[in-house]
Amino acid sequence: MASQEATNHRGEAAQAISNAVVRLLRDYTGRGPTQAYTTITESHVIVVLRDTLLKGERILVNDGHVAAVIDMRRRFQQTMREDLIAAVVEHTGRQVVAFLSDHHVDPDIAAEVFILKPRSAGERAAAAAADGNHTSFEPSS
């Protein structure tokens, strides 16, 4: 079982990542999402965002231009990619090996997915000890 301290640290990191992603979206687009929720696991970080679309984008969606809005959002994500990855690295201390991003317009939800570099056996053992969990999972090949 994870120690309270490790759980608190993971919660603080998740909150910091949510705040960073919202701030970056606001800085790049002029408006951030109204909700953000971050989940951190051993292998990935997922940030789910709600109410992300700008007023003009909502109008375009209502006019049937969903593909254009999704395309523009993907362009923003590629432009923000390095800053988003840097925020995850900063708050998790882990390297990101892959970044995936997508949007759904109805309902207005976006997901930012960061795949973390696997830890070495020694890093896993140290993390398990810090979490108060002295067992580790070894995936079979």
b/e sequence 81-111, b meaning 16+ C-beta within 10 Å: eeebbebbeebbebebeebebebebeebbbe
Q: How do residues 86-96 score in pLDDT, each as one tens digit?
A: 999 999 999 99
CATH for 4-129? 3.30.980
pLDDT number for residue 137: 34
* Three-state secondary structure of the chain: CCCHHHHHHHHHHHHHHHHHHHHHHHHHHCCCCCEEEEEECCCEEEEEEECCCCHHHHHHHHCCCHHHHHHHHHHHHHHHHHHHHHHHHHHHCCCEEEEEEEEEECCEEEEEEEEECCCCHHHHHHHHHHHCCCCCCCCCC
The domain ranges of the chain are 4-129
Is residue 2's pLDDT more than 60?
no
Q: For residues 73-86, give the mean pLDDT.
A: 95
Supply 36's token pair: 């953000």
Q: What is the pTM of this model?
A: 0.83
How far is C-alpha 70 from the chain's CA centre?
18
User: What are the tens digits of pLDDT across the range 116-125?
Assistant: 999 887 777 7
Contacts of 80 (CB under 8 A, 6+ apart): 24, 25, 28
Q: Is residue 93 left, alpha or beta, with left meaning phi > 0 and alpha meaning psi from -120 to 50?
A: left
* Cα dihedral value 118, 122, 125, 130, nearest 10: -90
Q: Is the pLDDT of residue 3 over 50?
A: yes
Local confidence band at 9 (pLDDT 50, 70, 90 cut-offs): confident
Per-residue pLDDT band at 23 (split at 50, 70, 90): very high
Between 4 and 133, residue with greater pLDDT: 4
What's the confidence (pLDDT) of residue 125? 73
